Amino acid sequence: MLKLSVLAGFLVVTGSVHAGYKGTPGAGAVSVYRYTDGTGFVRGTLSDTRASADTTSYLDCIHIAYPGNRYAYCSAYDASLTFGWCWTSDPAILAVIASIEPDTGISFEWNANGMCAYVQATTTSVTAPKQP
């Protein structure tokens, strides 16, 4: 089983958390995998990103709401500047994104149209605590 190491930020109408990260595909705070069919996968942790000296890479999930509409997107760069992102208006995925906390591990996958196929938020003891 793969261990999750994901970082993320979130915006719930009025605020957001963004974090830089250090990592390479398969290691580090954030990993971005892009496949030839246009799909992809990201994993990382906010706490590992926040504690890293590398401010080039990051991962965030932004949750936006206004009267009559809600949507969200997640995006990430890894240390090699590989970019991945997805967007959604699916209520179940929006609920997961809204649950993201500063020490949450995040994984997300997108389909060939850029829509989130899934988003996972994980709270676990294997991630580093956030640093001041």
In the chain, the percentage of residues whose pLDDT exceeds 70 is 73
Taking the alpha carbons of 76, 35, 118, 107 in that order, is the dihedral positive or negative? negative
- The pLDDT assigned to 131 comes to 58
Q: What is the mean pLDDT of residues 4-26?
A: 32
- The pLDDT assigned to 50 comes to 74
Instruction: Report which of residues 112 and 9 the model is more confident about.
Output: 112
Give exposure, 24-58, as e/b (b: 16+ Cβ within 10 Å): eeeebbbbbeeeeeebbbbbbbbbbbbbbebeebb
Strands of the sheet containing 19-21, edge to edge, are 19-21, 57-66, 69-77, 83-88
Helix or strand holding residue 86 (H, E): strand 83-88
In the chain, the percentage of residues whose pLDDT exceeds 90 is 48
pLDDT digits (tens, 9 = 90+) for 27-78: 458 899 999 999 999 999 877 777 777 778 788 999 999 999 999 999 998 8
- The pLDDT assigned to 92 comes to 97
For the chain, give the number of residues: 132
53: three-class secondary structure by DSSP: coil
